[in-house]
Amino acid sequence: MKRLIVFTLTLVMMISMSTTATSSMGKQKPDKKAIVLAVFGTTYPKALQSLLNLKEKMGHAFPGIPVKMAFTSEIIRAKWARRAKDPKWRTVHPEVPEFIYTVRNPLATIANLQDAGYLHIAVQSTHIFAGEEYQNLKSEIEALDAIKTLRNRDKPFKKIILGRPALGVSGDVRPYWADIIAAAEIVKNDTVLARNNKSALVYMGHGNEIFSTSAYVEFEAVLRDANPDLPIFVGTVEGFPGPKRILNGLRNANVKRVTLLPLMVVAGDHAANDMAGDEPDSWKNMFEKAGIEVLPVLRGLGELDGWADLYVRHLKEAMADNGF
């Protein structure tokens, strides 16, 4: 009788353990997801507002998913690291969030997330167009996603994806011209400002000397088609069309006054110096020497909620396209 009781109790315990194990297997922990916002960066405290706005928008759009910022510029990261060790500088600039001092590059940021158990990572590019920096970032993300291991369970990532830049990318998945039209709609208040100033509207983009900057030219065309009564020009610091071509266009259109804005996410060094600075080769000085009055506006596109929403939409679409 005792043996029967012991056998029965043992059997009950085994069934209970089996049921618990099965239940545990059926309730696997959900995959941890994270978002990396890849930006060039800025050393200007005031210009950080553009980046913080982008980060805040991402956080609201994806509640419960951590959003990490990464700076692609080594020079900018190094400068913030030096400032982190300067108590005087930090005291003078209490508005700078603590995390800015330790922002890493995209690869290091992704590695830290992976080490913390985040195996689904969505990276959003904040570049304006698919130039050199975007292509470098794209290559890194594709390489990480392509890592093969002997067992699938040992792969460092289950999925890692990249959202396209503001003016889109070539291909048949998401038509780039639709992104250009959407971007032009977002800056329509700039055309209102130019009209109020009784001036032409000029944008300074960063551009690139390696990849075609035709996206800027198409962006200009869309703006002009929507505003046939307003002279609009889009130029670049690097590549085509450069400032001399913009100046020739202003002369040919007999323009005497321009509203000048950066076509960049942040109004940082390029905006303060190359565009509106006192250097002889700044756009402002070049135009003024030609007898054109210049009204510079130091505003980064990231400050516009609509522009931040554009990146949010691109990331959502990248998630949908890649089964994220």
Alpha-carbon distance 294 to 287, whole Å? 7
Q: Which residues contact 324 (CB under 8 A, 6 or more apart)?
A: 33, 120, 122, 159, 161, 318
- Region 38-58: what's the mean pLDDT? 95
Is the per-residue pLDDT at 7 higher than 50?
no
Task: Work out the average pLDDT over 9-33.
Answer: 53
Give residue-wise pLDDT tens across range 104-152.
999 999 999 999 999 999 999 999 999 999 999 999 999 999 999 999 8
Confidence at residue 180, expressed as pLDDT on a 0 to 100 scale: 97
Mean pLDDT of the chain, nearest integer = 91
Q: Is the pLDDT of residue 24 over 50?
A: no
CATH of domain 32-174+305-321: 3.40.50.1400
- pTM more than 0.85: yes
Q: Can you give the residue ranges of every domain in the chain?
A: 32-174+305-321, 188-299
Residue 261 has what pLDDT? 98
The pLDDT tens digits of the residues spanning 230-287 come to 999 999 999 999 999 999 999 999 999 999 999 999 998 889 999 999 889 999 999 9
Backbone angles phi, psi at 206, to 5 degrees: -75, -50
Task: Measure Cα distances from 264 to 118, 205, 270, 302, 314 in Å.
Answer: 31, 6, 9, 8, 17
pLDDT of 4 strictly over 70: no
Residue 21 pLDDT > 60? no
Strands 159-163 and 67-71: unpaired
Q: Is the pLDDT of residue 64 over 90?
A: yes
Query: Is residue 179 predicted with pLDDT exceeding 90?
Result: yes
* Residues in Cβ contact with 285 at an 8 Å cutoff, skipping those fewer than 6 apart: 277, 278, 279
User: What pLDDT does 209 receive?
Assistant: 87
The pLDDT tens digits for 309-318 are 999 999 999 9
- Do the domains 188-299 and 32-174+305-321 match in fold? yes
Assigned CATH for 188-299: 3.40.50.1400
Indicate whether 80 pLDDT > 90: yes
Instruction: Report the pLDDT averaged over residues 34-54.
Output: 96
DSSP state of 28: P
pLDDT for position 28: 56
